A and B are shown apart, each in its own frame.
Chain A
Amino acid sequence: MSTLGQLVISGILIGGIYALMSIGLTLIFGVLRIVNFAHGEFLMVAMYGAWAITRLLGLNPYVAAVAIVPAMFLFGAIVYRMIINPALDKPHLVVVFATMALSIFMQNVALMMMTADLMDVPPIFGRSITIGPIYIKVELLLGFIITILCTVALQWMIKTTYLGKAIRATVQDGEAAMLMGIPVPRIFLITFAGGSALVGLAACVMMPLFSVFPTVGLNFVLIAFVIVVLGGMGSIEGALLGGICVGVVQSLSSYYVAPAFGQMFFFVLFLFVMIFRPNGLLGQKGAATIGMNE
């Protein structure tokens, strides 16, 4: 019983962290209606950044976020200007191939610069918290708390601020928003860069828990897509819900099912969700069946 409890708690906490990584993706999809295939590679680059700051400056990865988050915002803005924006008015295949190529590019530049070795940072907290029979890793708990804070802050931003309202208006009807004087291209830029910054934050939270290597993005991008589909496209609370589901399923299956399956887990989970619940947990219309540019 306590094993089960342990697995479920760890699953929920890790799921929260997965959710943080997916929020950027769901935000970009919700607003721009494009999918950034290089999302996982953005995470990879940010993780290398956090790793470098931790190793070279001796800071801890949470402090590194102060530098990584703005850096990723800038990186996102540059990618948007150079690749996404020119591709927006072209056939949808252009965005697909361009971001796919960007992801291959980033993977191989990382491979050339950092080699294929796994990099990690030394543990930050020596011991776990114990509640009754259950052990909780402090890094996990901290990551979960950061996710919750981030979700709440983002919700508040979208509900109340001018920028948030402008984003919602753009989602509802881009043309009408433009006529009302909302600078839609700038909203796109801010959303894309903001989504990238969130990935930067996720990378700093994940660095103490996972190793980084050039193709680390592929596993995580698939989880992110599963979460986004399960929770409903463009929904931030949905991402949290989806993340927790994925975390718990992963935690339980890695314990109860054969370890060879562990490598396959993300891919099988992805296909499984795509076959059986392409409309998400709550059955929102057309999450996975949606076209690329409408």
Chain B
Amino acid sequence: MLVTGAVSTKKPMRVPILPERGRLSWFELVLLLVCIGLVVASIPSSLRDVILLSFLFGGLALAWNIAGGYAGLISFGHAAFFGVGGYTSTILLVHYDITPWIGIWFGGTIAGVFGAALALICARLRGPFFILSTLAFAEVVRIGALNWSSLTGGPEGLSIMPTPGLASMVFASKATYAWLMLGYLVVVYAITKALEASRFGYYLFAIRDNEDAASAAGVNPLLGRTLAMALSAALTGVGGSLFAQYFLYLDPTYVISPELSFQFALLPAVGGLGTAIGPVLGSFLITPLSELLRSYFGNSAAGLHLVIYSLGLVVVMLYFPSGLAGALAKLARWRPFS
């Protein structure tokens, strides 16, 4: 996946140490090796939970980042796409006995259609109104899922039979799930990297940074925004399907909750918006933290982890608006011996 594009014609081929836009770096390769090491190593099962959730949420944060970071479409409604993806593959499995290996593609596609629809609905909206529309859209999907009981099981939710098997994508060992989630993370990361170096990626940057100029230069902003949202939603939907296969249970009040939408936006914001490595770092930092808080305080303090998240986000936003990836970029420019 060494997509170097136009850059390589000017500079000699070299692999940078720290992440750069559109190129693979040693940092990313080493991180990947560490991830593989964590899956292979024999570690306690509770820790493995944390690791595979960090992979899953890393992928979801990257998916959100395609819309929010690259195209400037800040969404607080991505849980809708997550839920649509999860429900689609689960309904296909439970009602029609279609293997999730196929169902996931349907889940991603339908979530993508929802994403495109949202982008078109909000075509004329910018700023706060766009954001609130995404929130309202997700609430409509949530209440719809709650009330359409014949399809979604309503408030009782949907369960997947816990009989392990390759065809049903249900596994007895958490290590298999960890491979699955790491695979998802790597695929979404590769798509993000390819996007960064592609013509379409540059269209998105142009639309995000100056829509009028982009459209004067011949870029179609509406098309760009719609495709970016559809891609982001489709990848989120795939994540939702994987989540369903792991937890084997879906219920609208969790999978389509505003809290989850907030979490999808929070991870890239802390990690660094509009970078590929940022959302991954954000997830690797925050997902273990949140699992730790949850296991430490249990249910005695509902909402505590969100209190800590949101405080952290205020601090990050006010003092380190470029996030962890920004700190890394600063490190890349640091020349102690020159």
Chain A interfacial positions (CB closer than 8 Å to B): 35, 37, 83, 86-87, 90-94, 96-98, 100-102, 104-105, 107-109, 111-112, 218, 221-222, 225, 229, 260, 263-264, 266-268, 270-271, 274-275, 278, 288-292
Question: Are B127 and A291 within 8 A (Cβ)?
Answer: yes
Q: Which of A90, A93, A268, A270 contacts B132 (CB 8 A)?
A: A270
Give complex CA distance A109, B74 in Å. 25
Cβ < 8 Å to A, chain B residues 108-144: 121-122, 124-129, 131-133, 135-137, 139-140, 143-144
Q: Which residues of B contact A292 (CB under 8 A)?
A: 126-128
| Bound CA–CA A107/B306 (angstroms) | 9
- Which residue of A104, A222, A225, A260 contacts B310 across the interface (Cβ within 8 Å)? A104
Secondary structure of the B contact surface, majority rule: helix
- Which residues of chain B have C-beta atoms less than 8 A from A112's C-beta? 301-304, 307
7 tightest A-B contacts by CB?
A108-B303, A35-B128, A105-B310, A292-B127, A101-B313, A101-B310, A267-B136
Question: Which of these, A35, A86, A218, contacts B127 with CB under 8 Å?
Answer: A35
Contact of A108 among B121, B304, B321 (CB under 8 A): B304
Docked-complex contact A105 and B129, CB < 8 angstroms? no
Taking A108-B310, A267-B143, A275-B121 as contacts, is the C-beta distance between A96 and B128 under 8 angstroms?
A: yes
A289 contacts across to B, CB distance below 8 A: 124-126, 129
Say whether B318 contacts A94, CB under 8 Å: yes
- 21 pairs, CB–CB < 8 Å, chain A vs chain B: A35-B127, A35-B128, A93-B74, A97-B269, A98-B318, A100-B131, A100-B265, A101-B266, A101-B314, A104-B306, A104-B309, A225-B132, A260-B147, A267-B136, A270-B132, A270-B133, A270-B136, A278-B125, A288-B124, A289-B124, A291-B127
B258 at the interface (CB under 8 A from A): yes
CA distance A112 to B311 in the complex (A): 15
CA distance A105 to B308 in the complex (A): 8
Min distance, Cβ B327 to any Cβ of chain A, angstroms = 17
Distance in Å: Cβ of B153 to nearest Cβ of chain A: 16
A145 to chain B, nearest CB (A): 30
- CB of B167 within 8 Å of the partner chain: no
Residues of B contacting A275 in the complex (Cβ-Cβ under 8 angstroms): 121
Q: Which residues of A contact B136 (CB under 8 A)?
A: 222, 266-268, 270-271, 274
- The reply to whether B132 and A222 form a contact with Cβ atoms under 8 Å apart is yes
Label chain A's interface by main secondary structure. Answer: helix
Residue of A nearest to B269 (CB): A97
Among A37, A91, A260, A290, the residue within 8 A (CB) of B321 is: A91
Q: Is residue B262 within 8 Å, beta carbon to beta carbon, of the partner chain?
A: yes
Q: B313 — nearest CB in chain A belongs to which residue? A: A101
Contact of A93 among B76, B262, B273 (CB under 8 A): B273
**Least Cβ distance of B195 to chain A in Å?**
20
Residue of A nearest to B262 (CB): A104
Q: Which of B125, B143, B306 contacts A288 (CB 8 A)?
A: B125
Residues of A within 8 A of B124 (CB): 278, 288-289
Check: B34 CB closer than 8 A to any chain A CB.
no
Q: Is the CB–CB distance between A274 and B133 below 8 Å?
A: yes
Tell me how far the C-beta of B261 lies from the nearest C-beta in chain A, rounded to whole angstroms: 10
B40 interfacial contact with A, CB 8 Å: no
Q: Which residues of A contact B144 (CB under 8 A)?
A: 264
Instruction: Note all chain A residues with C-beta closer than 8 A to B302.
Output: 111-112
**Does B2 sit at the interface, judged by CB under 8 A?**
no
Decide: B128 and A37 in contact? CB cutoff 8 A: yes
Given the interface contacts A111-B302, A267-B143, does A83 sit within 8 Å of B132 by beta carbon? no
Q: Which residues of A contact B76 (CB under 8 A)?
A: 100
Question: Are B306 and A108 in contact (CB-based, < 8 A)?
Answer: yes
Say yes or no: B310 contacts A102, CB within 8 Å.
yes
> CA–CA, A12 to B78, complex, Å?
35
Q: What's the nearest-Cβ distance from chain B to residue A78, in Å?
A: 13
- Shortest CB-to-CB span from B204 to chain A, Å, is 16
Q: A288 vs B131: C-alpha distance in the bound complex, in angstroms?
A: 11
- The yes or no answer to B17 lying at the interface (CB within 8 A) is no
Residue of B nearest to A92 (CB): B127
Chain B's nearest CB lies how many Å from the CB of A183? 23
When chains A and B are docked, how far (Å) is the Cα of A289 from the Cα of B144?
A: 28
**A37→B76 CA distance, assembly (Å):** 12
Scoring A105, A229, A289 by chain B CB atoms within 10 A of each residue's CB, the highest score goes to: A105
A35 to B313, CA, bound (A): 18
What residue in chain B is nearest A108 (Cβ atoms)? Answer: B303
Q: Which residues of chain A have C-beta atoms less than 8 A from B301's C-beta? A: 112
CB-defined contacts of B265 to chain A, threshold 8 Å: 97, 100
> B151 contacts the other chain (Cβ, under 8 Å)?
no
Q: Which residue of A has the minimal Cβ distance to B123?
A: A275
Query: How far is the CB of A261 from the nearest CB of chain B, in Å?
Result: 9
Q: Mark B85-104, 1 if CB is under 8 A from A, else 0.
A: 00000000000000000000
CB neighbours (8 Å) of B137 from chain A are 267, 271
Tell whether, in the assembled complex, residue B140 and residue A267 are in contact, meaning their CB atoms are under 8 Å apart. yes
Decide yes or no whether B317 CB sits under 8 A from chain A: yes
